[in-house]
Homo-oligomer: A and B are copies of this chain.
Amino acid sequence: MTRPAIAIHGGAGVMRKITRSKEGAYLAGLTRALEAGYRVLEKGGASLDAVTAAVVALEDDPLFNAGRGAVYSSAGTHELDASIMDGKTLRAGAVAAVSRIKNPVLAARAVMEKSPNVLLAGRAAEQFAKRNGLALVRPAYFHTAERLADLRKGRKSCHGTVGAVALDRRGNLAAATSTGGYTGKAPGRIGDSPIIGAGTYADNASCAVSGTGWGEAFIRLAIAHEVCARMRYRGDSLARAAAFALARLKRLGGDGGLVAVDRRGTIAMPFNSRGMLRACVGSDGGRVVRIC
């Protein structure tokens, strides 16, 4: 039996926004999501269920830019993206530019498990989610006064993606990512979060990765797949592969970070932004919950 491990993130480069009074709330939110995922693994559950549980917890927490706490587009709307991938079978699912799905990661999982497709966008994705019994909500569900103030004041957005990666007792890897994009993004803009290979990738042959940061650069570098490919084809350790991917990101002028776990339970949580909300339980059971 493999010892399970999990790592999650709640966005990179968000430090300016987190006043000391709110630090505790963020750490608590991260811890809740981490434990929601780890409980699944401890009971012998699948990594796919663990990353789903962790990301749902982050989506339901208005502090994080995904699900409930999604930021506003330039049109004053919310457009959410999410994806999930199973490292054992390389099955994957994703939704993009959805405005009415309470938990986009659950819709991504339904696309993976109940459709012949990998990526569904917009209204069609919402109809698919509804047909599969997922909760739809009114736009008001995503309203948060602080996010609206961000838009109105033209505050530069944090890269507030959330995500999780996990290794279960059977040795299977999984990854999931969910986001509201960035404040003031163009409607119809799709970032890296729903793109398999960019924001999310999992392959039992190497590792599972979830990214957060300047989405356009993550897409151009196919960052999540890049980390896996360097491990697989170059023989890099996870830490080295992840560091190299971030170095390439920096050369493109991009910032952000990622969480990753390999098939031995090694965890990496590198970032080149001012900070990254992150937490993990390693294969030794040790917890880390950090902001800077």
Contacts and interface: CB of A to CB of B under 8 A. Distances in A.
B90 A220 contact: yes
Copies in the complex: 2
Interface string A70-102: 000000000000000100001110001100000
Contact of A233 (B92, B124, B230): B230
A61 interface: no
A136 interface: no
A122 B196 CA distance: 20
Contacts of A197: 195, 197-198, 219, 222, 225
Contacts of A198: 196-197
Residue from A91, A118, A252 whose CB has the most chain B CB atoms within 10 Å: A118
Interface in A170-214: 185-191, 195-198, 201
Contact of A115 (B91, B117, B125, B186): B186
A228 to B, nearest CB: 9
Contacts of A216: 116-118
B118 A220 contact: yes
Interface residues of A, number: 43
A256 to B, nearest CB: 14
Nearest to A90: B220
A51 B201 CA distance: 29
B190 A121 contact: yes
A97 B128 CA distance: 16
A276 interface: no
A225 B215 CA distance: 17
A279 to B, nearest CB: 27
A156 interface: no
Output the residue of A186, A190, A198 with the most chain B CB within 10 A: A190
A123 interface: yes
A185 B117 CA distance: 9
A221 interface: yes
A258 interface: no
Nearest to A116: B216
25 contacts: A90-B220, A92-B219, A96-B121, A96-B190, A115-B186, A117-B186, A117-B216, A118-B215, A118-B216, A118-B219, A119-B189, A119-B195, A119-B219, A120-B188, A120-B189, A121-B188, A122-B188, A123-B188, A124-B188, A128-B186, A128-B188, A195-B195, A195-B197, A196-B198, A197-B222
